[in-house]
Chain A
Amino acid sequence: MKQQLRALSCAISLALLFLGPYAHARGRGGRGFSREGPAAGGGFASRAEGMRGLGERGGFASRFEGMRGGEAGFQSNRQQYAAGAQASRQQYGAQAQTSRQQEANTLQSSREQTAQRMQSSAQQYRGSYPYGAAAYPAWDAGAGVAAATMGAAIGTAAAASSMASPSMASPSSAGAGYAAGLPCASPQVVPVGEMQFYRCGSSWYRQAYGPAGPIFVAIRRPGL
């Protein structure tokens, strides 16, 4: 009987030994490795492209203001895309033309025919492109890294379960404005209607769905 108990306790200890770290690591990326980065979004364009395009038009800030400002902001954002992407399209068109000329110099006439076919095909597709320049460049650039640009998001929801741990992660490891948890050990949970707010001292936070999952976002005091 004693032997059986000993074996059972050994088995439980071993199970805890193996499962403990897994449970701890779940959702938190092990010891805090970041899941964010330009490749996380899996887009056919990266933030650099969007930034470059918008930077030329001075529109980067307005993009995120647009996100805060709702539909009116989106509309103005789309107009800026449209204005800037015209130049971008011309640039790409010129590049493509140069490239086609080089090809024509070196390849056979069949290649030239192919190039002509592709050109007409491109015109055909562009002709049926309902969003015109509005969705270009890079409507999918930056997805997955947007969290890093959301300066007020301060923690992941997975960290909510570890609210007792007030330790702040290195800003460089988690992006600007991020922490491993809410910045206080015992946040006051304040229900307002159907919503829940979290209060740490004079700061207020709200759980929201970020690019890759639930996060906490610093907000103004409810009612303001």
Chain B
Amino acid sequence: MEKRERCFVCSHGRGHRKRFCALSLTAVAGLALAWADGGQAPDGREVLMRMADFLSKAPNWRVTVHTAYDALQPEGYKVEWNEVRTVTLSRPDRLRVESQRSDGARSLVVFDGKKITTFDESTQVYAQAPRPGSVDDAVVYFVRDLGMRLPLAVLLLGRLPAELQQRVQSVEYVEKTATLGAPAYHLVGKTATVDFQLWIAEGDRPLPLRAVLTYKDSPGQPQFRAQFSDWNLDIKPADSLFTFTPPAGANQIPFAATLAKIAPMRQAPAVRKGGRQ
């Protein structure tokens, strides 16, 4: 019995033995590959931080960003708005963001190291605020203090790694994909209020290629989506690119956040009748 079992493979001749060996080798190789693949799956946080480090240290870059975001309407519609932006950054203190909305409206944000300016082409008005310092200072001032919109502003900062370390509660590697024109790592993560997905290029230039942000605590869980293209880290932008010269006839207006505003004035206050006024 023992002999028969031992000789089961042998007893079927050389051809069978070869086939058995080949099958075994294939199985072993398959298992090894699967194990190796699992073992080499990158750590999501490491991929994220590599991107943050790389981007924050890149001295000059330009990228085109196609963005889309959901805006939930009172009637229940969820409308997607689209924009295209060209971002040019030169550290430590130069930034230019050209934007075009899906309805054609164009605007500009320029920081020259001393002041930050935003210009609306359709109405030919601009607002300007002094802000000597770095891009980091100007961006935070622009968004937080002036209440202005600058999507994905955090990616512009030199302290991007610290920002992500502060905010990201968890991040996981999902898969490697080649659907974005270059091999990329797909990550999924969470901050306190935003779930995000990022696709980061594989290789020695770990740049973001796509981002999806989900505002999970907001009604309808709207998303902000961005597709990055034409990354160029070899630019040498002229200073004039970051200088804003108002077009003839353009009017300067203040930032709304700096105005001394008053309470909403939908209706004139009711005139009190009787008594002293």
Cross-interface CB contact of B162 among A128, A172, A194, cutoff 8 Å: A128
Let me know if A46 and B46 touch, CB within 8 A: no
Chain A positions 10-49 with a Cβ under 8 Å from a chain B Cβ: 25-27, 29, 33-49
Report Cα–Cα, A158/B125, bound state, in Å.
Answer: 12
B256 adjacent to chain A (CB < 8 Å): yes
Chain B positions 246-277 with a Cβ under 8 Å from a chain A Cβ: 251-266, 268
Chain A positions 84-106 with a Cβ under 8 Å from a chain B Cβ: 89, 92, 95-96, 99
A57 adjacent to chain B (CB < 8 Å): no
A163 adjacent to chain B (CB < 8 Å): no
Cross-interface CB contact of B256 among A26, A48, A172, A210, cutoff 8 Å: A210
Do A26 and B105 form a contact, CB below 8 Å, given A208-B256, A220-B262?
A: yes
A180 adjacent to chain B (CB < 8 Å): no
Let me know if A39 and B71 touch, CB within 8 A: yes
Report Cα–Cα, A49/B167, bound state, in Å.
Answer: 11
Cross-interface CB contact of B218 among A38, A138, A139, A202, cutoff 8 Å: A38
Let me know if B224 and A173 touch, CB within 8 A: no
Let me know if A140 and B154 touch, CB within 8 A: yes
Let me know if B191 and A44 touch, CB within 8 A: yes
B202 adjacent to chain A (CB < 8 Å): no
Let me know if A46 and B149 touch, CB within 8 A: no
B44 to chain A, nearest CB (A): 10
Interface string of A177-204 (1 = CB under 8 A from B): 1000001000000000010100001110
B15 to chain A, nearest CB (A): 42
Report Cα–Cα, A48/B104, bound state, in Å.
Answer: 31
Cross-interface CB contact of A214 among B43, B123, B169, B217, cutoff 8 Å: B123
Report Cα–Cα, A95/B167, bound state, in Å.
Answer: 12
- Count of chain A residues near B, Cβ 8 A: 86
Let me know if A27 and B103 touch, CB within 8 A: yes
Interface string of A128-167 (1 = CB under 8 A from B): 1111000111111111101000111110011010000000
Cross-interface CB contact of B148 among A44, A68, A125, A143, cutoff 8 Å: A143
Residues in A whose Cβ lies below 8 Å from that of B245: none
Let me know if B149 and A144 touch, CB within 8 A: yes
Let me know if B125 and A27 touch, CB within 8 A: no
Report Cα–Cα, A130/B140, bound state, in Å.
Answer: 13
Report Cα–Cα, A201/B103, bound state, in Å.
Answer: 33
Residues in B whose Cβ lies below 8 Å from that of A122: 165
Report Cα–Cα, A103/B202, bound state, in Å.
Answer: 26
B34 to chain A, nearest CB (A): 16
Let me know if A42 and B263 touch, CB within 8 A: no
Chain B positions 54-101 with a Cβ under 8 Å from a chain A Cβ: 67, 69-74, 77, 79, 81
Residues in A whose Cβ lies below 8 Å from that of B258: 67, 70
Residues in A whose Cβ lies below 8 Å from that of B197: none
A218 adjacent to chain B (CB < 8 Å): yes
Report Cα–Cα, A194/B253, bound state, in Å.
Answer: 10
Cross-interface CB contact of B152 among A42, A95, A214, cutoff 8 Å: A42
A61 adjacent to chain B (CB < 8 Å): no
Report Cα–Cα, A95/B191, bound state, in Å.
Answer: 12
Let me know if B264 and A45 touch, CB within 8 A: no
Cross-interface CB contact of A37 among B105, B161, B222, cutoff 8 Å: B222
A176 adjacent to chain B (CB < 8 Å): yes
Residues in B whose Cβ lies below 8 Å from that of A37: 69-72, 218, 222
Cross-interface CB contact of B217 among A46, A139, A206, cutoff 8 Å: A46
A114 adjacent to chain B (CB < 8 Å): yes
B140 to chain A, nearest CB (A): 5
Let me know if B122 and A158 touch, CB within 8 A: yes
Top 7 nearest A-B pairs (CB, nearest first) are A42-B151, A209-B127, A39-B222, A49-B193, A177-B264, A208-B256, A129-B162
Known: A139-B140, A219-B259. 7 other contacts (CB 8 A): A42-B226, A89-B166, A121-B165, A122-B165, A177-B265, A209-B120, A220-B262
